[in-house]
Amino acid sequence: MRYTEDHEWARLEGGVVTIGISAYAVEQLGDVVYVELPEIGKKVTAHGEMALVESAKAASDVFAPIAGEIVEVNAALAADPELVNKSPEADGWFVKLKPADPAALDALMDKAAYDAFVQGLG
């Protein structure tokens, strides 16, 4: 599992990267009430806007950790946005992406580095 400074996570499995937002991000957002997901087939750039998450407190953009093409979105989030709260780093995933360059993931933080980064945010 890899993490970004914008609090997305990304996990490579069988050539496809699953992406969501971290447990820390969800804790900051509070109850998620709406998730807007991209269309399948959309090409995204690294750090480009990919999705939108809205909580009772705020709306935030979700950025693509790496470049690629969206191959699947988590349709369950439309009816059940609280999945993001219940299971941010598993069932509450946002999209699956076919990466332009899977090696780009290596530049992101691993779990230990991300935890230290979050610690530093206070």
Partner 1 sequence: MNTETTTSGSRGLLQAEPLLFDAGSPARTGVDLPKPKGESRLGGLERKAPLNLPGLSEPETLRHYVRLSQKNYAIDLGLFPLGSCTMKHNPRLNERMARLEGFADLHPLQPTSTTQGALEVIRQVGHWLLTLTGMHTAALTPKAGAHGEFCGMLAIRAALAARGELDQRKRVLTPTSAHGTNPATAAAAGFHVEEVAGTSRGRVDLSDFRSKLGADVAGVMITNPNTCGLFEPDIKAIADLIHEAGGYFYCDGANFNAILGKTRPGDLGVDAMHINLHKTFSTPHGGGGPGAGPVVFSEALAPFAPAPFLAIDRDGALALQEETEAGTVGRLCAFHGQMGMFVRALAYMLSHGSDGLRQVAEDAVLNANYLLARLREHYHAPFGDGPCMHEALLDDSTLKARGIETIDVAKMLLDEGYHPMTTYFPLVVHGAMLIEPTETESRAEVDRFADTLIAIAERAKGNDTAAFKAAPQLTPVRRLDETRAARNPRLRWREAQRPE
Residues engaged in binding partner 1 (CB under 8 A): 28, 31, 33-34, 54, 56-58, 81-82
Give the strand pairing for 49-55 and 32-36.
antiparallel
- Pick between residue 82 and residue 110 the one whose CB is nearest to partner 1: 82
State the minimum distance, in angstroms, from the CB of residue 56 to partner 1. 5
- Pick between residue 28 and residue 87 the one whose CB is nearest to partner 1: 28
- Non-local (6+) Cβ contacts of 103 within 8 A are none
- Pick between residue 63 and residue 94 the one whose CB is nearest to partner 1: 63
d(CA 32, CA 61): 13
- Pick between residue 14 and residue 122 the one whose CB is nearest to partner 1: 122
d(CA 69, CA 66): 10
7: region left, alpha or beta (phi > 0 left; psi from -120 to 50 alpha) = left
State the minimum distance, in angstroms, from the CB of residue 2 to partner 1. 23
d(CA 107, CA 11): 13
State the minimum distance, in angstroms, from the CB of residue 13 to partner 1. 30
State the minimum distance, in angstroms, from the CB of residue 82 to partner 1. 7
